[in-house]
Amino acid sequence: MIHLVWLVPFLPLLGFLVNGLGRRYLSKSLAGIVGSGAVLAAFVISLLIFLEVKTPGFQAQVVPLFDFISAGSLHIPFAFQVDQLSALFLLIITGVGSLIHIYSTSYMHDESSEGFARYFAYLNLFVFSMLILVLGANYVMMFIGWEGVGLCSYLLIGFWFKNTNYNNAAKKAFVMNRIGDLGFLLGIFTMIVHFGSVSFPEVFERAAALGEGSKVIPVIAILLFVGAAGKSAQLPLYTWLPDAMAGPTPVSALIHAATMVTAGIYMIARSNILYTLAPSIQTIVAVIGLATAVLAATIALKQDDIKKVLAYSTVSQLGYMFLALGVGAYTTAVFHVMTHAFFKALLFLGSGSVIHAMGGEQNINKMGGLKKYMPVTHVTFLIGCLAIAGIPGLSGFFSKDEILAETFISNKLMYAIALITALMTAFYMFRLYYITFCGKFRGTHEQEHHLHESPAAITIPLIILAVLSVVGGYIGLPEVLGHSVLKEYLAPVFAPSAPFVHAHEHLSHNTEWLLMGLSSLLVIITIFFARSWYRNYEDNGEPRTGIAKVLENKWYVDELYDAIIVKPLMMLSRFFEEAIEKSGIDRLVNGVGRGVHWGSQQVRLLQSGQVGFYIFAMVIGMVVLFVIGFLLK
């Protein structure tokens, strides 16, 4: 089965080609079937591959397809690598991807059939790129997928291209990602120079041979992390992700919550040895992850757009994952990627269902009391909120609690901040839930009249994701409760770094129970707080003041970037254009021309027309030549 792995990305590519080329001729249902079918088929193959990989003792396999680049001493094959990590990501991508494709067939039904096919073509292209990203057997392949998903994100954020704001958001996402990509590229070049290769096994082997204390590895690690920070929306490159919510909601669920933004985590988990060997960089990763988590969580507290809340929540959760990576808990980070994919996709799709019912309205102040109109959406959304908040028994609880426990081992202060962030998460999620689903309906009568539960194509994915959000955590049970299947499964991937990990203390079972109990208790108290404040929420329409206003305006980070980067760049460009190009270089060049012109005009005066003068000049000239000739002799 492994040798058929090329089919996994190929099927979505085929779907892209069919939908893209035939967008004028395909009916909506056909386009939907082609789009969803391609991903679903890829899921089935992924599942078969996964079953094969899951057998104990499976060794990573590289499937070469053809020579991509071979220049001088550099050889980069177009090859796929199948191992435990990529197989798991395959499942997440194609699994959640299929659900979202199915969901989209209903959600995007109002588009023209051409737009509908275009949408599915982009979505399939995205799945293709994402699969290339996780399947690539070397960093260049990963980079191909990396930029590919960036492109699809650009295309899908700007899907409704008539809206200039959406286009600006798309452009911002692409450019910010490119900043990260430059770091990634520099990291690749450093590898080429120092390791002479970009393929995973060779790089890791040579890095391990260098061991700790090498100067190269931290450089590579930090450069790759710049790339990861761009793609996974970490400080300081996170501002594109909330803006990216301009895209259709299923896109936000798939790309900007479940899959693409976790590429950074995949990359660092994949390169775990590089980070294990560079503890200083690990600390940076952890600090940036934590800072992002806190910052985004504070912003999420005061957002009124349902998707913006979820977007900042995503940024915050991604920060959590980087925190886990930073403290060396690679398995935990991947675990959280998985559970987050389930409940965040669920929440986004649920919000999509709400937005659909509200006729495109996204402001939660205009909603309220939706639970009696949309029972399925309501229940599933509640499950999502409970999962992300970390209520014991649901998937989010296990993964988040493990991150907290690992942080506790590594640094107590970080643990405290992470715990507060977790409480903020619970608070803003339930604020969102209560404002949206409880209380009175605050929209217009017309909207109220139209409120309805969404069709089956929307609710079935919601139900499946809700089930996964509940049970997904049981593959990673903490030690006190039993046995982590995931840890055992992923062990071979992180085996290379094992020898270099400093044997750190294990938490005693009592401490672990205590931490778990503490966080659960605090979360439940927070939820009750949120309930008492927002259960009967009335929008008084007063503008916010003080800190709330700062939070509503996202700490003014966008404005800050505008002032320190965008405006100076524009000024510099104008300066180049006006001062240097037009009045500087070009004037100089034209000045040479004008100088020659002026000089010629002066010399022209010698041509007086007096024959006598000419002859005189001639004689003088000859005499001068004779004299020079004489002197030179």
Contacts with other proteins by CB under 8 A lie at: 66-74, 114, 140, 143-144, 147-148, 151, 154, 158, 161-164, 167-168, 170-171, 174-175, 178-179, 181-182, 185-186, 189-190, 192-193, 569-570, 572-574, 576-577, 580-581, 585-586, 589-590, 593, 607-612, 615-616, 619
Closest distance to other proteins from the beta carbon of 292 (Å): 21
Closest distance to other proteins from the beta carbon of 593 (Å): 7
Which of 471/580 has CB closer to other proteins?
580
Is the Cα dihedral 384, 385, 390, 391 positive or negative?
negative
Residue pair 456/441 in contact (Cβ under 8 Å)? The answer is: no
CA–CA distance from 621 to each of 575, 604, 615, 617, 624 (Å)?
51, 18, 10, 6, 5
Residue pair 316/421 in contact (Cβ under 8 Å)? The answer is: yes
Which of 114/479 has CB closer to other proteins?
114
Which of 444/573 has CB closer to other proteins?
573
Closest distance to other proteins from the beta carbon of 589 (Å): 5
Which of 50/116 has CB closer to other proteins?
116
Closest distance to other proteins from the beta carbon of 311 (Å): 21
DSSP 536-559: T-----PPP-HHHHHHHTGGGHHH
Closest distance to other proteins from the beta carbon of 301 (Å): 32
H helices within 358-455, ranges in order?
375-389, 395-410, 412-437, 445-450
Distance, CA of 89 to CA of 47 (rounded, Å)? 11
Closest distance to other proteins from the beta carbon of 136 (Å): 11
Distance, CA of 319 to CA of 325 (rounded, Å)? 10
H helices within 254-372, ranges in order?
263-270, 272-276, 279-300, 306-326, 330-357
Which of 160/373 has CB closer to other proteins?
160
Which of 162/412 has CB closer to other proteins?
162
Which of 14/151 has CB closer to other proteins?
151
Q: Which two tokens stand for residue 589?
A: 């060049």
Closest distance to other proteins from the beta carbon of 437 (Å): 36
- Cis-peptide, bond into residue 236, ω within 30° of zero: yes
575: how many CB neighbours lie within 10 A of its CB?
A: 11
Which of 541/629 has CB closer to other proteins?
629
Which of 74/548 has CB closer to other proteins?
74
Query: Which candidate, 142, 148, 146, places its Cα nearest to that of 81?
Result: 142
Closest distance to other proteins from the beta carbon of 12 (Å): 14
Distance, CA of 549 to CA of 241 (rounded, Å)? 21
Closest distance to other proteins from the beta carbon of 273 (Å): 23
Closest distance to other proteins from the beta carbon of 18 (Å): 16
Query: Looking only at Cα atoms, what is the longest distance across the chain?
Result: 119
Residue 296 gets the label, from left (phi > 0), alpha (psi -120 to 50) or beta, of: alpha
Classified as helix, coil or strand, 75 is strand
612: how many CB neighbours lie within 10 A of its CB?
A: 8
Which of 190/365 has CB closer to other proteins?
190
Q: What is the 3-state secondary structure (H, E, C) of 12-23?
A: HHHHHHHHHHCC
